[in-house]
Amino acid sequence: MSASARSDLPREEGPVGFFDSGLGGLCILEAFKRECPGESTVYIADSENCPYGNKSADEITCLSEANTRKLLARGCKMVVVACNTATAAAIDKLRASHPSVPFIGIEPAVKPAALKSKSGVVGVLATAGTFGGRLYRETKARFAKGVEVIAVVADEFVELVEKGETSGKRAEAAVRAKIAPLIAAGADHIVLGCTHFPHLRPLIEKVCGGRAEVVDPSEAVARQAKRVLVNSGLLASGRLEPAHEFLRTGRARKNR
């Protein structure tokens, strides 16, 4: 029997839960599995309610709470909010309503991009919800002083990734339409501020053509998740075979 299905095990043997509005957060899940190969995971792709990007903060909070409850019902010991938009809208409330659960969130990596920029111009791609959140505003005000930060809403990318259309003419045209103006404006760093966007990274890099560095925080989030597991005494012992469960709302369940 898999660790994710057993309630008789110590808490640290439980799975780590992940959720996103859809398939985007899989890049965080994959980074986490590389970082912590002994951990079991449960991933919820809330594709039925995708996109989150243009929903109200209240609506996203309700959806995030529902995803969290499903993960906790499966014995998850920690929840990774693998979605910038849900982190911006809901992470404070999730932490308040589940005080014994460690939550890991994700926000656009404006800080490293601004610190490393030589041109003084960085581009950030995210959803309207993420740009409207307190986290983005505060990080930008604190760490991007004197740097021009160009915010670009790229909802089209979310739709492409949900459809599995990460290459081809239509995807390349959509990527070019968002990236080329940033390059023309002198951006030397392009921050992927939505977990759907790393899935389009090969195309984004092609359009950048070496003129800008693409910043994807997936690995940093995975490392942070591991740090929190270690510091909370929740790292799995490694004695059980890890199990991975993938749930997609509005679709039949399957294991990956």
Interface residue with ligand DGL among 158, 174, 200, 207 (CB under 6 A) is 158
Strands (E), the chain: 16-20, 41-45, 78-81, 103-104, 121-126, 148-153, 189-192, 213-215, 244-248, 254-255
Q: Please say which residue, 51 or 242, places its beta carbon nearer to ligand DGL.
A: 51
Interface residue with ligand DGL among 4, 61, 139, 195 (CB under 6 A) is 195
Answer whether 77's CB lies under 8 Å from 16's CB: yes
Tell me whether residue 36 is one of the annotated catalytic residues: no
DSSP 19-66: EESSSTTHHHHHHHHHH-TT--EEEEE-GGG---TTS-HHHHHHHHHH
Q: How far apart are CA 25 and CA 198, in angstroms?
A: 9
State yes or no: residue 83 binds ligand DGL (CB under 6 A).
yes
Number of residues that bind ligand DGL (CB under 6 A): 16
Interface residue with ligand DGL among 85, 117, 139, 218 (CB under 6 A) is 85
Q: How far apart are CA 135 and CA 132, in angstroms?
A: 9
State yes or no: residue 117 binds ligand DGL (CB under 6 A).
no
The residue number whose beta carbon is nearest to ligand DGL equals 53
Cβ 139 to ligand DGL shortest distance, Å:
15
Interface residue with ligand DGL among 4, 67, 127, 249 (CB under 6 A) is 127
In the DSSP assignment, the letter for residue 144 is: -
State yes or no: residue 125 binds ligand DGL (CB under 6 A).
no
Interface residue with ligand DGL among 41, 61, 68, 84 (CB under 6 A) is 84
Residues 14-73 that bind ligand DGL (CB under 6 A): 20-21, 24, 50-53
Q: Please say which residue, 83 or 236, places its beta carbon nearer to ligand DGL.
A: 83
Q: How far apart are CA 234 and CA 96, in angstroms?
A: 20
Compute, in degrees rounded to 10, the torsion defined by CA atoms 64, 143, 219, 132.
20
Interface residue with ligand DGL among 40, 64, 130, 249 (CB under 6 A) is 130
Cα dist. 36→8, 39, 46 in Å?
Answer: 22, 6, 24
Active centre residues (catalytic): 83, 194
Which residues would be at the binding site for ligand DGL (CB under 6 A)?
20-21, 24, 50-53, 83-85, 127, 130, 158, 194-196
